[in-house]
Amino acid sequence: MIERLLPSSTARAIIGWLIVAAILVLLWALVGNNYHLRLLISAGTAMIAVIPFGLLMGHMGYMAMGQGGFVGVGAYVIGCFTVQRFELDFWAVLPVSIIITAVLAYGFSFLLFRLRGYHFSIGTLALGQLLYLAFDSWEWVTGGPHGTSGIPRPAIGEYVFGTNSRFFILVAVILFISAFSSWWLARGQVGRALSAIRQDEDLAAARGLNVLRYKQFIFVFAAVWAGVSGALYAAMQISIDPSSFTIWSSFQQVIYVIIGGTGTLLGPAIGVIFITFLDQLIADFGVWNQLILGSLIVITVLFFRGGLWGGIRMLARLALNAVGLARAAKAPRPGAAE
Amino acid sequence: MTAFVQQLIYGTSYGMNLAVAAAGLALIFGVYRVINLAHGQLIMLGGFATYVVTTQIGTHFFVGFFAAMAVMGLLGIALESTIFRILQARPATDQLLASLGVYMILGTVALRIWGDFEARPVNMPGEAWALHLGEDIRIDGARIVTIAITLALFIGLYFVVYRTHLGRTMRATAQGGETAELMGIRKRRVAALVFFIGGALGGSAGAMLGGLFNVRPDMGFQPLLMALIIIIFGGMGSLGGAIIAGLILGILYNLTVYYVGSKLGDLVPFGVLLIVLMVRPQGLFGLPGRRA
């Protein structure tokens, strides 16, 4: 009986996205503290890259360990074209930045997708390190180890996204587009193709799926959003240097996804929020915070593969079970093995 | 020409060193089917173990060297019995992630103890003398000692893997774990042995890198990256491939650093990797068609 009362999946989706939009608006309206706003901005910037990356890592099962490189490309293209070389406007450069990351990712995808599993991860790790070395040494474009500074804040007409409060609007809008496009892809044909690839790539190919096309598409998709995230990061930080785009920044994206929950869209977002606030909490521990984070990863991978979002869902199911609404709780995932 | 010969020998010693580190990874992958990213920190901790025993306590280099091998071997066994045993049946992503977590944990511990980044030297035999070939080729004794140690390690490794009963059980497990178990080979014992040898090789690589350069808490990352590239280049799980790939990479690296510049030298491994991926994704000695 209770299932009848639940809205249809389309209606649920609309309600869900309205809630997301409402949360973003509420955060903007209610968080007055500049410091907290700044945290939200950097979390949002990370999410812009991490949610699409979740499709690549979680839905498709290809763990790229070099996404930080693409974030860096996006940031340095902005840095190069707005300050270092040409002094163009942010909005004129953003499409250039997107095109360059897309072309770069597409080119490398031919090489990388000759690999699977470990090989793919190691190949992307090497790509990330290669891009980092390029940032560090190609001084004409990147300014070398000292980086690029004086990147202007973007503006629309007279409205400059100068303060944190205004910049939050920019990040929130782009985050919404990033999350929505990821969701749109995951729910349709592409999403089914991705899970087919994750479950058995050879079978999917044998059944006539053009596996390489889908893999390349998602890789480029994730790289482009990583680049956009980097572009916003550059505009937010005003000055950038190679230390922000090391292999460690790539690992961090992987960590967000695994802690939040792989194979879901909300998981990576929750991972970003959780780790951003965990970082604040354990900042006092100095070097020990890496130990806490490392232990958290090991424990999550070994014992809680669903991550935080999986844990939340499990608790919700237990709670619903307790009040006898178990069937309704199961309804959203008809294919899941119970 | 003289500089070329010198760089060739320096590259050989560096490459052999990397090959030792990579051989540990390749052995663990070949038999146990797990990629252990924490291997980089075993290299680093091996360096510090040597530093503590050789420099701080003040014994001979080889005491520290064997101590590092033993301690890192035992650490390898400890990691196997707690974490990798659970991970063995898991997908590649889980293995990489969990070992990344271990990498972070071990790295933090080292940073906590030795985090001031002071130069921590390890005295190596042969540092006092140098070999003079012809007029102006001068080769540090430590480099020659490194080459000798790595050669001894490879001969020892060959002997263990191909000439002993334990080695036969390892090779049988590598070919087919279940069949090997049915033949009466004890899986747990092989696993412990493989992780002991793998850890000991990592520790010895760290000891030698510490002797040639300095011991630092972040010294594990570069060799780890090189070792990962080497095992792809050599063919996953192939010991001979790892040695040859390590040599090629080490020599190319040194020659590029000397003739072109240190920044481009860092690019060499990645250039090699890209070419390998284009031409022969299964690596030098990997079986064709077995990419994953």
Return all residues near B67 (Cβ < 8 A) that are at least 6 apart: B49, B50, B53
Q: Is B232 on the interface with A (CB under 8 A)?
A: yes
pLDDT digits (tens, 9 = 90+) for B116-171: 778 788 888 877 777 777 667 777 888 888 899 999 999 999 999 888 888 888 88
Tell me, what's the pLDDT at B291? Answer: 41
Instruction: Record the tokens describing residue B114, joined without a space.
Output: 């030795």
Q: In chain A, which among 171-230 make CB contacts under 8 A with chain B?
A: none
HSE-CB for A283 with a 13 A CA cutoff: 6
Evaluate whether residue A6 is within a structural domain: yes
B216/A145: higher pLDDT: B216
Q: Is B83 on the interface with A (CB under 8 A)?
A: yes
Measured from the Cβ of residue B100, the count of other Cβ atoms closer than 10 Å reads 21
- CA-nearest of B24, B75, B82, B109 to B67 is B75
Quick check: B263 and A301 CB within 8 A? no
| Closest-approach residue (CA) in chain B for A286 | B112
Quick check: B270 and A129 CB within 8 A? yes
Tell whether the model's pLDDT for residue A1 goes beyond 60: no
Tell whether the model's pLDDT for residue A325 goes beyond 70: no
As a whole number, mean pLDDT of residues B23-27 equals: 91
SS3 B290: coil
Residue A182 C-alpha, separation from nearest chain B C-alpha, in angstroms? 21
Q: Which of the four pLDDT bands, split at 50, 70 and 90, describes residue A239?
A: confident
Contact B48, B112 (CB under 8 A): no
Evaluate whether residue A274 is within a structural domain: no
Tell whether the model's pLDDT for residue A336 goes beyond 50: no
Evaluate whether residue A70 is within a structural domain: yes
Return all residues near B216 (Cβ < 8 A) that are at least 6 apart: B44, B47, B114, B117, B120
Instruction: Record the tokens describing residue A302, joined without a space.
Output: 């070994």
Q: Is B108 on the interface with A (CB under 8 A)?
A: yes
Q: DSSP readout, B218-250?
A: TTTHHHHHHHHHHHHHH-TT-HHHHHHHHHHHH
Residues A134 and A70 in one domain: yes
Residues A119 and A168 in one domain: yes
Residues A18 and A86 in one domain: no
| Closest-approach residue (CA) in chain A for B111 | A287
Quick check: B104 and A291 CB within 8 A? yes
Tell whether the model's pLDDT for residue A331 goes beyond 70: no
Tell me, what's the pLDDT at A278? Answer: 84
Q: In chain B, which among 135-174 make CB contacts under 8 A with chain A?
A: none
Q: In chain B, which among 24-53 make CB contacts under 8 A with chain A?
A: 35
Tell me, what's the pLDDT at A326? Answer: 55
Return all residues near B29 (Cβ < 8 A) that are at least 6 apart: B35, B231, B236, B237
> What is the Cα–Cα distance from A63 to A144, expressed in whole angstroms?
29
Residues A6 and A141 in one domain: no
pLDDT digits (tens, 9 = 90+) for A249-291: 899 899 899 888 888 888 888 889 888 888 888 777 766 778 8
Residue B226 C-alpha, separation from nearest chain A C-alpha, in angstroms? 9
Contact A295, B80 (CB under 8 A): no
Backbone torsions φ then ψ of A148, nearest 5 degrees: -120, 135
Tell whether the model's pLDDT for residue A200 goes beyond 90: no
pLDDT digits (tens, 9 = 90+) for A32-70: 777 888 888 889 999 999 999 999 988 888 889 989 999
Highest mean pLDDT among A179-183, A236-240, B32-36, B75-79: B75-79
Residues A45 and A167 in one domain: yes
Measured from the Cβ of residue A327, the count of other Cβ atoms closer than 10 Å reads 12
As a whole number, mean pLDDT of residues A285-311 equals: 83
**Number of structural domains found in chain A:** 2
Quick check: A119 and B292 CB within 8 A? yes
Amino acid (one-letter) located at A93: V
Evaluate whether residue A61 is within a structural domain: yes
If DSSP states are collapsed to H, E and C, what string results for A93-151? HHHHHHHHHHHHHHHHHHHHCCCCHHHHHHHHHHHHHHHHHHHHHCHHHHCHHHCECCC
Instruction: Show which of A246, A270, A305 is a domain's final residue.
Output: A246
- Alpha carbon A49 to chain centroid distance? 3
Evaluate whether residue A323 is within a structural domain: no
Q: For A158-167, A194-203, B98-107, which range has the lowest pLDDT when averaged over its residues?
A: A158-167
Tell me, what's the pLDDT at A154? Answer: 82
Contact B259, B11 (CB under 8 A): no
Tell me, what's the pLDDT at A3? Answer: 53
Residues A237 and A132 in one domain: yes
pLDDT digits (tens, 9 = 90+) for B72-81: 999 999 999 9
Q: Is A114 on the interface with B (CB under 8 A)?
A: yes
| Closest-approach residue (CA) in chain A for B279 | A111
Closest partner residue to A133 (CB to CB) among B94, B103, B266 is B266
If DSSP states are collapsed to H, E and C, what string results for A55-70? HHHHHCCCCCCCHHHH
Q: Where are the domains of chain B?
A: 17-245
Contact B93, A118 (CB under 8 A): no
Instruction: Record the tokens describing residue A174, joined without a space.
Output: 């782009």
Which of B32, B84, B93, B233 to mutate: most A Cβ within 10 Å?
A: B93
Which of A56, A257, A302 to mutate: most B Cβ within 10 Å?
A: A302
Residues A18 and A137 in one domain: no
* Residue-averaged pLDDT of chain B: 86
Quick check: B101 and A137 CB within 8 A? no
Share of chain A above pLDDT 70, in %: 93
Tell whether the model's pLDDT for residue B278 goes beyond 80: no
Residues A19 and A124 in one domain: no
Q: Per DSSP, what are the bridge partners of residue A156? A: A159
Return all residues near A322 (Cβ < 8 A) that are at least 6 apart: none
- CA-nearest of A101, A119, A111 to A65 is A119
Q: Which of the four pLDDT bands, split at 50, 70 and 90, describes residue A327?
A: low
> What is the Cα–Cα distance from A93 to A221, expressed in whole angstroms?
19
Residues A26 and A36 in one domain: no
Q: DSSP readout, A229-246?
A: HHHHHHHHHS-B-GGGGS
Give the angle subtended at the CA of B27 by the CAs of B26 and B29, to the nearest 5°.
Answer: 65
Tell whether the model's pLDDT for residue A165 goes beyond 90: no
Instruction: Show which of A192, A221, A246 is a domain's final residue.
Output: A246
Residues A142 and A13 in one domain: no
Evaluate whether residue A192 is within a structural domain: yes
> What is the Cα–Cα distance from B145 to B167, expressed in whole angstroms?
27
* Residue-averaged pLDDT of chain A: 84
Instruction: Record the tokens describing residue B252, joined without a space.
Output: 């190319």
CA gyration radius, chain A: 20
Tell whether the model's pLDDT for residue A337 goes beyond 70: no
Residue A35 C-alpha, separation from nearest chain B C-alpha, in angstroms? 28
Closest partner residue to A294 (CB to CB) among B104, B229, B278 is B104
Q: What residues of chain A lie within 8 A of the CB of B101, using their CB?
A: 293-298, 301
Which of B33, B83, B85, B97 to mutate: most A Cβ within 10 Å?
A: B97
Instruction: Record the tokens describing residue A176, joined without a space.
Output: 């919404």
Highest mean pLDDT among A6-10, A43-47, A153-157: A43-47
By residue range, what is the domain housing residue A6?
Answer: 1-30
Residues A159 and A16 in one domain: no
Evaluate whether residue A337 is within a structural domain: no
Residues A20 and A132 in one domain: no
Return all residues near A97 (Cβ < 8 A) that are at least 6 apart: A73, A74, A77, A78, A81, A227, A228, A230, A231
- Alpha carbon B215 to chain centroid distance? 16
Instruction: Show which of A246, A263, A296 is a domain's final residue.
Output: A246
Tell me, what's the pLDDT at B290? Answer: 44
Evaluate whether residue A281 is within a structural domain: no
Q: Per DSSP, what are the bridge partners of residue B139? A: B131
> What is the Cα–Cα distance from A146 to A242, expressed in whole angstroms?
8
> What is the Cα–Cα distance from A310 to A308, expressed in whole angstroms?
5
Give the global pTM: 0.86
Q: Which of the four pLDDT bands, split at 50, 70 and 90, describes residue B275?
A: confident
Backbone torsions φ then ψ of B120, nearest 5 degrees: -115, 100
Highest mean pLDDT among A1-5, A295-299, B42-46: B42-46
**CA distances to A173, A327, A328, B103 from A333, in Å:** 29, 11, 10, 36
Contact B53, B63 (CB under 8 A): yes
Tell me, what's the pLDDT at B93? Answer: 84
Return all residues near B203 (Cβ < 8 A) that are at least 6 apart: B42, B43, B45, B46, B49, B68, B69, B70, B71, B72, B73
Where does residue A147 fall: left (phi above 0), alpha (psi -120 to 50 degrees), or beta otherwise? left
Q: Is B272 on the interface with A (CB under 8 A)?
A: no
Quick check: B104 and A129 CB within 8 A? no
pLDDT digits (tens, 9 = 90+) for A109-143: 988 888 888 888 888 988 998 899 888 888 787 77
A100/B122: higher pLDDT: A100
